[in-house]
Amino acid sequence: MLLTIPDVLTPDQTAHARQLLDATDWVDGKTTTGYQSAKAKDNMQLPESSPVARELGDMILAALSQNPLFVAAALPLRILPPMFNRYAGGQSFGTHVDNAIRQLPHSPVRIRTDLSATLFFSDPEEYEGGELCIEDLYGVKTVKLPAGHMVLYPSTSLHHVTPVTRGARVCSFFWLQSMIRDNGQRSLLFDLDLSIQRLAQELAGNPVAEKTSVQLTGVYHNLLRQWAEM
């Protein structure tokens, strides 16, 4: 499942973040990646210890905790602190797959990367190139979103970022472990959740519809109870 989540951040939050990101110091992105990815990676990143990265990461996580679409789609168990990258002057990231296991910073805790996320801080007209290209069973999906919007996709996907030939592409990226390991099961629960919400909104006050909504909600939670890993 590849999902666009609009307006994760407000325009004011996005502008504040961009102001901080434009004024901070960046380092070579190869310092924060594994051997295979380093051969394909050409970008700049904020160090994980950067105060700007910590401040903006906390802002992103707080916003996502209040975003019903994200919670319904991801069913998050653990989220790695958001990181930040910048592409300019022809920089790109060749085709790769994200590491299956990552370690929480300054912690012995490891998480399984079920879902990857990219949150955009540059509007599409600010730069040329820089498309996030994600491969799935139905071909390659190209993603280039307005600032403040985010894409969520399975970490098992092969993906790449095309060269940025004008301007700068500034984003946050991070990974999470879902309570539901299987992407197919997670997609079914998401579709069921959306259907229940739609039924409740469109047929409010209809006793038969309300009873059906309650029954479907029971099915949802029983499937969640059966499939969830905690």
The answer to whether residues 48 and 88 belong to one domain is yes
Contacts (Cβ under 8 Å, ≥6 apart) of 162: 92, 129, 130, 131, 133
What is the predicted pLDDT for the residue at 98? Answer: 93
The answer to whether residues 141 and 112 belong to one domain is yes
CATH, residue 199? 4.10.860
The answer to whether residues 63 and 123 belong to one domain is yes
Q: Is the dihedral of CA 66, 71, 77, 82 positive or negative?
A: negative
Q: What global pTM score does this model have?
A: 0.93
Contacts (Cβ under 8 Å, ≥6 apart) of 165: 90, 128, 129
Structural domains counted in the chain = 2
Domain span holding position 222: 183-227
Q: Could you give the angle at the alpha carbon of 72 between the alpha carbons of 161 and 133, nearest 5°?
A: 10
The answer to whether residues 221 and 158 belong to one domain is no
What is the per-residue pLDDT across 14-65, written as a single tens digit (0 to 9) for each? 999 999 999 999 999 987 665 566 678 999 999 989 999 999 999 999 999 9
CATH, residue 151? 2.60.120.620
Q: Could you give the angle at the alpha carbon of 102 between the alpha carbons of 178 and 27, nearest 5°?
A: 120
What is the per-residue pLDDT across 154-199, written as a single tens digit (0 to 9) for each? 999 999 999 999 999 999 999 999 999 999 999 999 999 999 988 8
The answer to whether residues 70 and 130 belong to one domain is yes
The answer to whether residues 91 and 39 belong to one domain is yes
The answer to whether residues 134 and 78 belong to one domain is yes
